[in-house]
Structure 1
Amino acid sequence: MAAAPLKQAFGGTSSSRLAGPASRRSFATRSRLDASYGFIGLGQMGYPMARNLRKKISESDSLYIQDVNPAVCEQFKKEVGNVEIVESVRQVAENAETILTVLPQPYHVQSVFREMLKPDNLSETTRVKTERLFIDCSTIDPKTSAGVANATASARQGRFVDAPMSGGAVGAAAGRLTFMVGAQPELFPRVEAVLKMMGKRVLLLGPPTSGIKSKLVNNYLLAINNIATCEAMHMGTKWGLDAKQLAEMINTATGKCWPSEVNNPVPGVVESAPSNRDYQPGFGTTLMLKDLDLALQAAAEAKIVTQLGVHAKELYAAVQADERCKDRDFSVVYRYIGGKE
């Protein structure tokens, strides 16, 4: 009975043992006072998030880390300390009560959870004291997220919530992310306590997949706002207006938006913006293309007709294909359209 959702979520043949005593037993518990955390995915966002988590949890709490790049784990341990590097995501699941995943693509999330949830070869030496909480902070599509949530419930290995974030690498480093959570209300206090250690706002948007849907809506709007801001700033500077004065006016008027106020595309306007560092680092055009793809795909599945998203996707694809703009922050659209630097 439990095998079907796993097969549907991950593909292939799942073990029949999911329906047997092992799955009902789930991961056994052990009695101890200290909490245990796991973090899978130490990329541009995950690395600073995990660093902030380690700083906020008790010194006696455990943090197990895993990434496809072992060198990143070693670097993290050298820089942050007091962590345990494990070789597989399965080992994270066996040892941690609260497990966070920050992964690039839907298929990465599926692969990681397939390994964590399979019941084979449960370790008899590693146990946790409370029901596992899986917090997926990846930006993926609602269908995949729902599938993984159902697989987690079916495997009876813990509870799954979707909690993508907004704020970029700068927000992650500063611990000022906004998390959008899709979860059952009774889980939210526990989820909020964990995410507050890495962000400033944790919002419950509704049941599972609500966080993912909210994130895609936000980034769809961000993608279009960014293009509009780049075009507006280009228009103003081309007319001879001072870029800084123009931005100050916009940010006190009805044109105010995050791409203008925080991530302004014109060098010299906002000191902390990627535009002052040759548009690096930041939220790359490839990531924006990915999020637009996911949003448009989910919209199509819901029979929602979008007007601007397709055009925005075409522009970001052209920007990414331009060697002067490739792999830079998405505000590099300003350079692509001929903005004055």
Structure 2
Amino acid sequence: MPVFTSDFSPTLPFKNGHFNTMYRPLFMKDTCSFLRKRITTWDHDFIDLDFSLVGSKTIVILIHGLEGSSESKYIASTSKHLNKKGLDTVCFNLRGCSGDDNLLLGTYHSGKTEDVDFVVKHILENYKYENIIIIGFSLGGNLTLKYIGEQSENISPKIKGAIAISVPIDIASGEVEMERLKNKLYLEVFFKTMKNKILEKAHKFPEFNLDKDKLFKATKFKHLEKLYTVPVFGFESPEDYWAKASAKPHLLKIKRPTLLINSKDDTFLSTECYPYDEAHNSDFFFFEAPNYGGHCGFMTSFKPSENTWLEHRIERFIRENIQINIL
């Protein structure tokens, strides 16, 4: 599919990637009233699903980013907008992110699509929806793209398409980019919650034998992966994790209309995270790279009512390319 030419054109302050990235979580007031359902997983854990229903035949599964939840502003704003357009939504809170710690030592990672598959099958088996769309943000976007690609031969006909926003589809180079000085503040915010969660897991599972000294000194994602992700989820090394978890190798396998939006000023993303070639060589994978937008931002002005470009872009892709009738 051709690469889309973006029409995103923010006012001057929002042309700064950092400003746009931080404005949504700090200043937007979006909230959404969800009805929570806790489902038991095959491995004796639980996943919390937060529904917002308007009586639709179509449901949109929303997947948040690293250390996010259904309370993330981009989840709330997308859910509210889609509800107004007549679509049901459900936010899939990744394990350990719903406000309650999950029961197992393992939580989630960028490539853990078995959990996405479990949630999709739960929706298929317990609800009578005619259409399912998956929308993921950042890490949740990587899960979305990887799932749609790797399941291409077995995917349910009820899954009509997907959208991913601000996604580090190449984890190895994305982590290098994230660890640059320009992203120091973001990294500190992520590491604070991630280290606390790993410490809590070590307390609950003493057999885990966490090297707490190394955890306290960790300054890179690779350090946390060596301490937690690799041993807990059975990877051979951080490099093995990066290769197996990245969505990029799966893009050309996608067989449902799927859109990736990565802004060119997203400071989290490396050059490898802009898959122009894959989009040009696919019949189903679409790519859009606005000049501005930051990471999961896409704010246009200081007026909240005008900050709906992303929600309207999602709506338009659903209507025009996934071809679902919405209000």
Instruction: Judging by fraction of residues, say which structure has more helix.
Output: 1
Q: Same fold (TM over 0.5)?
A: no
With the length of structure 1 as denominator, give the TM-score of the two structures: 0.26
Compare relative contact order (CA 8 Å, sep 6+) and give the higher one, 1 or 2. 2
Q: Flag the structure with larger Rg.
A: 1
